[in-house]
């Protein structure tokens, strides 16, 4: 393979594979009614802009790095671009065949780059490859059933997007785009030595736009093993182990990536591995260890820890959130970084799900207070000791729960930043809307449970597009049915829990700044909406005294529940 070549020459006759230990397909596709640019629409718009430009030089697709192995080219760098090229060509060729049955030169182009009869040129990661073959290459699958990973869903979205964009395209446009891609230039570097490929990856990606810390760490681990492994057999064995573990890690990432950042999981795992919440810089810590004498044993043990963390968090955000309401409640709160190392430990030590739920409920209370109160006081120094004591030999969570309960009641100045007085004070005025929605969801659960034994509480994700509504609107309506908008009312009553209501987005848009009588008649969906109707049954006006009564009731519930 030439160092400077074209996409067609690079792909023709070669068998290109994305190894399972590499990241799966991660490019995003535009969502309807969104102006946000994504990688796939930029990919297409760049090609179209080039086509319109009458440029004399070929389109350039960048650099690709391969490891030559067993008559295959393993993609080390460039897999996202290459996968998108194949998806786009498959969509383009499918459209072209509907226009003209005899394709001649275009068919040879396509077969050189993607698939010649039954011979496939390109394979994505193992766990997505059958879907890739069925949906993109063979096009024998047309439904979206059985898409188990986020990467498989991205593949389907990208193919569907390109098919839709090309659906009205002319034969000349399609032939021109095929010609542009086939003749596009690129640079390549195939190597036989995996260690060299990894060194190049590290070099290339330490400049310009960096990959994630997790990807850099993986490459550093494999490079370190190649350099310092005791003997060829041991090094190869550990490299295989790292690849196997990262295959599992990337599978997990594909299912939870919208719930948690992979580099955050790396940091939380570091805190668990070294049993300290004070670890703050993943790569700095890892680089120092890799420079030491015991790097190989660390690599082996830490990759095990990391793989376990991703596996456990897949359970946490998946089946366990669906089955355990306390876990769902903690996740719904959000901003729970301080809780994750505790949660990872609980899974690692094999605690029963109900115990993990109890731990989550306790941590949820602390996180909520910390977010609401907004103190600059450092919370890590107050709980790091109970985190360190929570070990394989001491799996009892009672000391953690006891510490948090004590922090909620103590008046000792160094600990009292999160106590009940501070919590009560933080609930009196304006509240961040994301936290406000969570608080009113808790209040909704309380209202629903009154007089209903064995009631199953409503999950937060069952409320469609929840928003925080100001019952008395922020902008005065002269004939409104609300209290007088004097300085006191505006400053103390408009932005407070008593005037907030949990409501769906569509409902919120429909009521807007309407008079209270119209709003009131629409409040029929949640218990707290019906409560407003009941409170104003005798006098359909929302006064400041009613807002105050409701605020005090909500705060009393939250003080008791949280």
Dig out the tokens for 283 from the structure: 């790569």
Q: What is residue 482's three-state secondary structure?
A: strand
Q: Residue 238 above 90 pLDDT?
A: no
Q: What is the arithmetic mean of pLDDT over 260-285?
A: 95
**pTM over cut 0.85:** no
CB 94 within 8 A of CB 100: no
DSSP 394: B
Largest interatomic CA distance in the chain:
86
Q: Could you tell me which of 120, 51, 53, 67 has the C-alpha nearest to residue 90?
A: 120
Residue 467 phi, psi dihedral angles, 5° rounding: -135, 165
User: H or E stretch including 230?
Assistant: none
Torsional sign, CA 505, 509, 510, 516: positive
Dig out the tokens for 116 from the structure: 């010649």
Task: Encode pLDDT of 523-556 as tens digits.
Answer: 998 999 999 999 998 888 899 999 999 999 999 9
Concatenating the DSSP letter of every residue in 399-464 gives HHHHHHHHHHH---TTTGGGSHHHHHHHTSS---HHHHHHHHHHHHHHHHHTT-TT--PPPGGGSS
Q: Are strands 16-17 and 72-77 parallel, antiparallel or unpaired?
A: parallel
Task: Encode pLDDT of 73-114 as tens digits.
Answer: 889 888 999 999 999 999 998 898 888 766 677 777 788 888
Task: Encode pLDDT of 138-150 as tens digits.
Answer: 999 988 888 888 8
Q: Could you tell me which of 55, 7, 2 has the C-alpha nearest to residue 186?
A: 7
- Rounded to the nearest 10 degrees, the angle between the axes of helix 213-228 and helix 232-256 is 170
Task: Encode pLDDT of 5-41 as tens digits.
Answer: 898 898 888 899 998 888 889 999 987 766 668 889 9
Q: Residue 328 above 60 pLDDT?
A: yes
């Amino acid at each position: 393979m030439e160092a400077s070549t074209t996409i067609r020459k690079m792909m023709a006759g070669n068998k290109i594979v994305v190894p399972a230990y590499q990241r799966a397909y991660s490019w995003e596709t535009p969502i309807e009614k969104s102006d946000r640019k994504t990688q796939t629409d930029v990919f297409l718009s760049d090609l179209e802009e080039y086509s319109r430009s009458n440029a004399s030089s070929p389109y350039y697709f960048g650099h690709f790095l391969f490891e030559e192995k067993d008559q295959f080219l393993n993609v080390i760098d460039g897999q996202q671009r290459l996968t998108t090229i194949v998806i786009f060509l498959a969509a383009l060729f499918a459209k072209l065949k509907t226009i003209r049955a005899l394709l001649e030169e275009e068919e040879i182009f396509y077969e050189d780059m993607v698939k010649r009869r039954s011979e496939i040129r390109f394979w994505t990661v193992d766990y997505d490859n059958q879907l890739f073959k069925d949906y993109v290459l063979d096009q024998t699958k047309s439904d979206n059933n059985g898409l188990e990973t986020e990467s498989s869903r991205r593949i389907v979205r990208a193919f569907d997007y390109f098919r839709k964009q090309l659906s009205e395209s002319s034969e000349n446009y399609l032939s021109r785009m095929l010609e542009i891609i086939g003749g596009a230039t690129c640079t390549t570097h195939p190597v036989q030595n995996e260690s060299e490929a990894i060194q190049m990856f590290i070099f290339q990606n330490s400049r310009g736009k960096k990959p994630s810390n997790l990807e850099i760490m993986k490459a550093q681990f494999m490079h370190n093993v190649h350099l310092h492994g005791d003997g060829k057999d041991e090094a190869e064995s550990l490299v295989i182990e790292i690849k196997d573990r990262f295959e599992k890690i990337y599978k997990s990432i594909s299912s939870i990536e919208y719930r948690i950042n992979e580099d955050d999981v790396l940091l939380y795992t570091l805190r668990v591995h070294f049993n300290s919440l004070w670890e703050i810089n993943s790569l700095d810590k890892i680089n120092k260890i890799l420079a030491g004498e015991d790097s190989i044993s660390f690599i082996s043990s830490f990759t095990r820890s990391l793989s376990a963390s991703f596996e456990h968090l897949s359970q946490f955000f998946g089946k366990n959130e669906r089955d355990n309401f306390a876990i769902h409640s903690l996740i719904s709160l959000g901003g729970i970084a301080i809780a994750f190392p505790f949660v990872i430990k609980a899974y690692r030590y094999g605690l029963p799900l109900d115990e993990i739920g109890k731990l989550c409920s306790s941590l949820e209370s602390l996180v909520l207070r910390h977010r609401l109160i907004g103190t600059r006081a450092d919370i890590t120094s107050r709980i790091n000791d109970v985190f360190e004591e929570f070990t394989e030999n001491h799996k009892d969570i009672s000391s953690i729960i006891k510490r948090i309960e004590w922090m909620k009641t103590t008046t000792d100045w160094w600990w009292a930043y999160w106590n009940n007085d501070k919590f009560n004070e933080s609930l009196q005025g304006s509240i961040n809307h994301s936290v406000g929605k969570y608080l009113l969801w808790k209040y909704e659960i309380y209202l629903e449970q009154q007089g209903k034994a064995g009631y199953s509480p409503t999950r937060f994700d069952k409320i469609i597009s929840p928003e925080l509504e100001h019952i008395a609107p922020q902008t005065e309506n002269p004939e409104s049915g609300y209290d007088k908008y004097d300085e006191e009312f505006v400053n103390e009553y408009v932005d407070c829990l008593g005037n907030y209501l949990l409501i769906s987005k569509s409902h919120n848009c429909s009521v807007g700044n309407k008079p209270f009588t119209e709003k009131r008649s629409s409040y029929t969906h949640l218990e707290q909406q019906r409560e407003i109707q009941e409170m104003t049954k005798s006098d359909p006006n929302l006064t400041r005294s009613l807002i105050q009564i409701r605020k005090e009731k909500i705060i009393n519930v939250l003080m008791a529940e949280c």
